[in-house]
Amino acid sequence: MRKIIHLDCDCFFAAVEILDHPEWADIPLAVGGRVEQRGVIATCNYPARAYGVHSAMSSARALKLCPQLKLVAGNMARYRQVAEQIFAIYRQYSRYLEPVSIDEAYLDVTESPLLGGSATRIAEAIRQQVKKEVGITVSAGVAQNKFLAKVASDWNKPDGLFVVDPRYQAEFVAQLPVKKIPGVGPRTQEKLLSLGVSRCAELQRLPKQELVRLFGRFGERLEQLARGEDHRELRLNREAKSVSTEHTFSQDLPDLAACSAQLDSLLQDLERRFRKHREPKQIIGVFVKMKFFDFSQTTAETRSSQTHPSLFLALMAEAWSRGQMPVRLLGVGYRLAPRQEEAACFQQMSLFDSLTSA
């Protein structure tokens, strides 16, 4: 029986801002981009959420919902500093740590002798130590696998702890809404609802063959998670698979020529980010991301070790041809090789054979 803890800092960016500005504690607060730059909300505190503000919402929309919203640009260097303090505390309790993002991680404490080997007591001790030493609240979930631990950490937010007791795991999973399953977005949820499926108990009754027919390979994953099964191990050494940069424009770019004119500055920023990468990696592909004025988006990419601007221009033209509408966001990036591939010989594919969409 494994003992997995999922730890998730509450409203992390906003929490750090409040840590530095205690006078903001009880007012609606959000970290995000400016309205004139078509910014979006990165995170917000609970007083702001009471007005319907949420992450990924446009800053303009957030301010309409909550005119008194305190909107700050954020300070990523400061957030990383606080995150390092928090992760240092996590490592005091287990060396089996999988960082998921700057404010989220899994711990495997299956073999830990601390606190009598109780994952529940370890999770609570971590929460209290982070609150005392750093001043940030952390919600935690305890379960036998990563999927259920992540679901559990969201159960009693903010500043909560929830344990999926193995004795009652089957009952807990059965009543779980399918929207809690990772990968089940609005479209998949809508499709499941059309089949009369809103909870995992109903999903469990669908044959695996039917799920595969409807959802492809994801159908197999659905069948497993609907029963609370997740055999993934913690990834102790997460490797970055790509590095990229993107920009949202204050005014839509009307055509391909206007998009192409932005390429030099985007590539310069991409190179800066690549040089700052923690571990030097071999580039095995390049891509262009394009979001149109109606918020539809596409990605054109090719497998290549070359990074010449002409390659990006060709990909940009390919992406543009799919929408042929004004563009609000452009992004460029590199795909990076896993460590085991870095010494392998690389054979460049033809651009016209390898253009793909995502």
| Feature table: binding site for Mg(2+) | 8, 103
Which structure tokens are listed for 210?
A: 């039917």
Alpha carbon separation from 242 to 62, 116, 122 (Å, rounded): 31, 41, 34
- The 10 Å Cβ neighbour count of residue 228 is 21
DSSP 115: G
Q: Is the peptide bond before 158 cis (omega within 30 degrees of 0)?
A: yes
DSSP 166: G
**Residue 128 near residue 134, CB atoms below 8 Å:** no
Give the residue among 4, 39, 11, 46 at the shortest CA–CA distance from 246.
Answer: 39
Strand partners, 162: 141
One-letter identity of residue 126? I
Long-range contacts of 293-300 (CB under 8 A, 24+ apart): 293/252, 293/325, 293/326, 293/327, 293/328, 294/325, 295/328, 296/323, 297/329, 298/322, 298/323, 298/357, 298/358, 299/357, 299/358, 300/355, 300/356, 300/357
Residue ranges at the known binding site: 8, 103
Alpha carbon separation from 89 to 82, 99, 105, 158, 225 (Å, rounded): 11, 13, 12, 19, 31
User: CA quadruple 345, 350, 353, 358: dihedral positive or negative?
Assistant: positive
Q: Please tell me which residue in 36, 98, 104, 271 is annotated as part of the active site.
A: 104
Catalytic status, residue 104: yes
User: Angle, to 10 degrees, between the axis of helix 186-194 and the axis of helix 208-215?
Assistant: 130
Q: Which residue numbers are catalytic? A: 104
